[in-house]
Amino acid sequence: MRTAHLNGVGIALLLALLVGLGCNRTVPPPTPFTEAELAGEIEKAFATAKQPEAKDLAGQVVAALQAKDYSKAFWAIQTLSAVQGLSKDQAMVAARATLTIHTLLQSAQTQGDTQAGQTLQRYLQTK
């Protein structure tokens, strides 16, 4: 009887330890892409997208980036990030791309791009 009680306590402690270890993970935030790798990473991640909408939006993001239209790229990546059914990899690429495009918008704003400034202000108002 006493052995069964000790086994139960041992199992409970083991489960508590495993739960504690599992909950103690810290996941670092996503790292942005460099400007040079951004378009290629988006194309690669969404080339096999199952949703036509995701492929189309990814194409819009890449086209806007190539035209250096960061405002258009920003809104397109925001829409792309909200598409239902993205794979884990696609969602991560979209998150990293969002960080990069946001940085590009800020840089454009500091260089006098009024459209970039307006985009950032609109985003902050709707956030």
pTM of the model: 0.77
Mean pLDDT of all residues in 60-69: 96
pLDDT surpassing 80 at residue 23: no
| Domains held by the chain: number | 1
Poorest-pLDDT segment among 4-18, 31-45, 48-62: 4-18
pLDDT surpassing 90 at residue 7: no
Can you give the pLDDT at residue 29? 83
The candidate with the shortest Cα–Cα distance to 97, out of 44, 53, 34, is 34
Mean pLDDT of all residues in 75-91: 96
- Residue 3 in any domain: the answer is no
127 DSSP assignment: -
pLDDT surpassing 90 at residue 80: yes
Q: How confident is the model at residue 11 (pLDDT cuts 50, 70, 90)?
A: low
- Residue 91 in any domain: the answer is yes
Q: Give dist(CA 37, CA 31) in Å, integer.
A: 13
Q: What residues make up the domain containing 72?
A: 35-126
Query: Which percentage of the chain shows pLDDT scores above 70?
Result: 80
Can you give the pLDDT at residue 8? 45
DSSP string, 13-70: HHHHHHHHHHHT--PPPPPPPPHHHHHHHHHHHHTT-S-HHHHHHHHHHHHHHHTT-H
- Residue 20 in any domain: the answer is no
- Residue 75 in any domain: the answer is yes
- Residue 29 in any domain: the answer is no
